[in-house]
């Protein structure tokens, strides 16, 4: 600590410096989830997470113990089971309709719409999907054509319609190819990838690197929803290449709710409106800057001009 004190006191280094305090890279994240899920299913007691979770009392940040098992069981039985998710469908569709009304008013007034993710992961996913589609006009056109061909004059994309929209689902998978996961903590000693991992070790699964690995993905830096057409890769925790909701015991309990919200929201945005850049901007002007956080939001709002689709 004396060395750190000297750095701050005399400004020996630049205003920013990096210190590696006992971390190492182990290229065996899949083994973490598949073979040692029980060992790595706890959460570390980090100050930021404690502040967000009432000292670790919520489902996401609670350490693995009897309390966590009980509240997860309650959530899965009473809140997030498939029947309960379906029961919330009218609320989701009402909120989407309200969003479409606001965008329609802006379109009539020729005002740009600012897409801001807020704090919720589903909203952030929709914003990133629209961002990527605006930078890839071919994918945008194909997604819109698929939705409009299916829905026709119906006027609104309902949740059951999304099951017949494979390209839309591929767009969402491609958007979610590089998420960030909450860190885990080992409950006991184990060996992972040849390393001795002590109990209480904080473990991060680098899903961003997995989503950009050329050994897994062809042209990983390109936005290509086609890679998921006729592919068996799913995002529900069974395929390690794509785990935006995590996997194993700590998989996101709200996954079904989140996917339903993203699908119906994005489908209606593509069905109802044609999207253009504001005057003076081009596709290449859309930035991909992100701001750090538990959910990766766009740093700058996505501003687009909506024109109501003439059916």
Binding-site members for heme are: 252
CA 151, CA 133: separation in Å to the nearest integer?
20
CA 201, CA 104: separation in Å to the nearest integer?
51
Which residues make up each annotated binding site? Answer: 252
**Phi-psi sector, 54: left (phi>0), alpha (psi -120 to 50), beta:** left
Torsion, Cα 187 188 192 198, to 10 degrees, reads 100
CB 60: neighbour CB atoms within 10 A?
16
CA 286, CA 208: separation in Å to the nearest integer?
21
CA 188, CA 38: separation in Å to the nearest integer?
9
CA 273, CA 11: separation in Å to the nearest integer?
55
Which helix (H) or strand (E) is 90 found in, with range?
helix 89-108
Sign for the pseudo-dihedral over CA of 234, 70, 293, 140: positive
Inter-residue contact 304 to 129 (CB < 8 Å)? no
CA 80, CA 74: separation in Å to the nearest integer?
9
CA 272, CA 103: separation in Å to the nearest integer?
10
CA 77, CA 71: separation in Å to the nearest integer?
10
């Amino acid at each position: 600590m004396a060395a750190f004190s000297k750095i701050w006191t005399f400004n020996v280094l630049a205003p920013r410096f990096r210190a590696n305090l006992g971390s190492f890279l182990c290229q065996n994240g899949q083994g973490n989830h598949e073979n040692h899920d029980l060992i790595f299913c706890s959460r570390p007691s980090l100050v930021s997470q404690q502040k967000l979770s009432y000292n670790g009392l919520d489902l996401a940040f609670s350490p693995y113990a009897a309390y966590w098992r009980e509240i997860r069981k309650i959530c899965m039985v009473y809140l997030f089971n498939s029947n309960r998710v379906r029961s919330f469908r009218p609320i989701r569709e009402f909120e989407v309709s309200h969003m479409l009304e606001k965008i329609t008013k802006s379109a009539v007034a020729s005002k740009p719409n600012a897409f801001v993710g807020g704090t919720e992961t589903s909203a952030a996913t929709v914003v990133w999907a629209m961002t990527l589609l605006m930078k890839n006009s071919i994918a945008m056109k194909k997604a819109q054509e698929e939705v409009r061909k299916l829905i026709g004059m119906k006027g609104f994309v309902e949740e059951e319609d999304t099951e017949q929209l494979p390209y839309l689902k591929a767009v969402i998978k491609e958007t979610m190819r590089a998420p960030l996961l909450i860190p885990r903590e080992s409950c006991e000693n184990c060996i992972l990838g040849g390393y001795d991992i002590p109990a209480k070790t904080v473990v991060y699964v680098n899903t961003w690197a997995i989503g950009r690995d050329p050994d897994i993905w062809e042209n990983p830096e390109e936005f290509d929803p086609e890679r998921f057409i006729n592919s068996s890769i799913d995002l529900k925790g069974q395929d390690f290449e794509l785990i935006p909701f995590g996997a194993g015991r700590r998989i996101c309990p709200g996954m079904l709710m989140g996917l339903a919200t993203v699908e119906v929201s994005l489908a209606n945005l593509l069905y109802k409106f044609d999207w253009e850049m504001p005057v003076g901007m081009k596709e290449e002007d859309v930035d991909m800057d992100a701001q750090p956080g538990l959910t990766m939001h766009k740093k700058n709002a996505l501003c687009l001009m909506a024109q109501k689709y003439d059916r």
